[in-house]
Structure formats: structure tokens, C-alpha cells
Amino acid sequence: MTNKSVVTKYKTYLLLEKALSKNSISAYMEDVDKLFNFLEQENLRPEDVTLDHLQQFVAQLYDLGINARSVARVISGIKSFYGFLTLDGYISEDPTELLETPKVGMKLPVVLSVGEINDIIKIIDLSTIEGRRNKAILEVLYGCGLRISELTSLRFMDLFIDEGFIKVEGKGSKQRLVPISPTAAKEITNYMLDRNQMLAKKGHEDILFLSKRGTAISRIMVFHFIKQYAEEAGIKKNISPHTFRHSFATHLLEGGANIRAIQQMLGHEKITTTEVYTHMDREFLRQEIIEHHPRNKHYR
């Protein structure tokens, strides 16, 4: 079977036999697209997939910090697709039968909705230097998916704004280039007008985000103002700077971005393999953020 023909038949099945709404069909098709992206990377055909392959696919979702509800929805879509393949005789055994769906209540990273992130950012008082700095920080955390340690150590020499990238030093002193979205780049540029007026203490002259004391802003300080903004915005979730990283991954995935691209942007390495995803085209990675990140919609 060809992927294109079976997907077309599956879509017809959802419409005519399952009588699903247009939105529901769209959601199911997005789940199948995610699976097919994974299969393409693994050089697999849908009919060759085993339970082990599917568990590896789901493990990637967990590695990215995707919340339980989103993972459950993707698994539901994959189960539906393989149920169709079995029903129509494309395969004799359904590999999803023993694929476990996560309990929505299980402890997984907290993720903010796009609306909640917008509400937090709207709270910021942009009439102050600290406010403009904090907005830039949140846009970089959410727009680039950085760890808080990666953000607080950013230096001028790490910025390649015109090229659309920043250089990040992650765990184990491993460096990677991360695409920077137009929104985050704009806020950094705005903040630089203030930053150029600040007096930095010795050893912190090249640090991007400074505290009032002229030293690199601390993790605790970022944690504190994020908590404060969330409270003022009426958000009850227990969030931290890392929540923006999880939200970055979740929203890109739900927007249709390639899982492997997200994995490289986050600087993740798979536990089950020694392969490091360093061979993807940089411009492709940048397009993944520009096209799929919710805060870039108005730039199109």
C-alpha cells in the first residue's frame, strides 16, 4: 500500500463510517502525520510497525515534556488509524492493542496554554527597564525552549540575530545553535536599548540579561517574577521557568512540527540510542519554529 492512498481512504472512513466532525477528522489526521514523520525517520512502513516501534514513538513525546492529555490524544489517533488498517485488511494484527494510554491525572510536567502565556506577558509593566527585560526573558524561554541555566548564561557573542539563531551551552557544556523566532528576536532588540545603558560588574560585561546590581540575573530571580506574574494573571498552576520550555515543546508538537526537529532544538539525546540529532539543516530548524510556534502567527 502507498501512504497517500491509505491516508485518503482513512480520511474517507472517518467522514462516512465514523461520521466525525471536520475538526475531529483534522485532529486524527494530524496524529497520523506525526506518526508518519516518525516512520519516515526510522525508514519504516505503517504495516511493518511493531509495539516496540510505537513505544519508542511515545517515548519521544514524553522526552519532549509533552503533557499526558496531549500524549493520550495522539495515542488515541494512532489506535484509530491502526484499527482502520486491521478492519480493511491492510494488516492482520493490530500493533496498538497493548499500547498503553497515559492516565490524564498522572504526574507530568505542567504546561501553559497559549492563552495563559499571553495573559502572563500582558501583565508585565513595560514602562520599567526590569519589565522590558523580563518580557524579553519570557519570550526567549518560550520562543526558544531554553533551560533557565542556558538563558542566564547567554552572552552578546551568543547572539546571531540577523542570521536567526542563538548559540546555547547546554548540559555537559555541549553547544548547539537554536533558531530564534521573530518575536523573541524583536524583544531582545528592544531590551538591548536598555542593556547598552547598564553598568555591568567585572566579569559580567558580556552577559545579556543583567540584574539591577549589574550581575547576571539569577535563576531564583526569574523564578520569582514568573510566579508573581502568574499570580497577577490569575493562573493557579504551579509553574516555573521550566514550564515555558515544556510549553514550547508541546505547542510546537501540537502545531505539527517535526518531533526530531523539536528534540534537537531542546538539546535532548534519546536514552535508547547514542544517536545525536546534529545533521538537520539549520534553516529547516528555523522554519519549524517560525511556522509552528503560536507567537509567530502574525508574522506570516
Report which of residues 207 and 175 the model is more confident about.
Answer: 207
Question: What are the cell numbers at 8?
Answer: 485518503
- pLDDT of amino acid 280: 39
Give the residue from 142, 185, 147 showing the smallest Cα distance to 163: 185
Specify whether 297 is catalytic: no
Question: What are the cell numbers at 82?
Answer: 491502526
Topology, domain 3-87:
DNA polymerase; domain 1 (1.10.150)
Specify whether 147 is catalytic: yes
Active-site entry in 135, 245, 286, 295: 245
Active-site entry in 147, 195, 251, 286: 147
Q: Kind and range of the H or E element at 246?
A: helix 241-254
Active-site entry in 53, 167, 242, 270: 242
Active-site entry in 268, 286, 292, 293: 268
Specify whether 277 is catalytic: yes
Q: Where are the beta strands (DSSP E) in 128-280?
A: 159-160, 165-169, 175-179
Q: How far is CA 192 from CA 33, 73, 152, 161, 201, in A?
A: 40, 41, 15, 12, 17
Specify whether 295 is catalytic: no
* The CATH homologous superfamily of the domain defined by 114-299: Intergrase catalytic core (1.10.443.10)
CATH 1.10.150.130 domain residues, the chain:
3-87
Give the residue from 49, 45, 31, 33 showing the smallest Cα distance to 2: 45
Specify whether 268 is catalytic: yes
Half-sphere exposure of residue 112, counting CA atoms within 13 Å on the CB side?
29
pLDDT tens-digit series, residues 126-173: 999 999 999 999 999 999 999 888 999 999 999 999 999 999 887 767
The most confident of the ranges 26-35, 63-72, 100-109, 187-196 is 187-196
Transcribe 113-152 into DSSP letters: -HHHHHHHHHHS-TTSHHHHHHHHHHHHHHHH---HHHHH
The torsion angle over the Cα atoms of residues 98, 48, 279 and 273, rounded to 10 degrees, is 50
Give the residue from 297, 286, 292 showing the smallest Cα distance to 180: 286
Q: What is the DSSP letter of 178?
A: E
Q: pLDDT-derived band of residue 1, with 50, 70 and 90 as boundaries? A: low
Specify whether 224 is catalytic: no
215, exposed or middle or buried, with CB in 10 Å at 0-12, 13-18, 19+?
Answer: middle
pLDDT tens-digit series, residues 75-119: 999 999 999 998 888 888 899 988 887 765 545 568 899 999 999
- pLDDT of amino acid 200: 94
CATH 1.10.443.10 domain residues, the chain:
114-299
Give the residue from 279, 290, 52 showing the smallest Cα distance to 165: 290
Residues 288-299, mean pLDDT to the nearest whole number: 69
Q: Which residues pair with 165 in a beta bridge?
A: 160, 179
65, exposed or middle or buried, with CB in 10 Å at 0-12, 13-18, 19+?
Answer: buried
- pLDDT of amino acid 274: 21
Active-site entry in 45, 171, 201, 297: 171
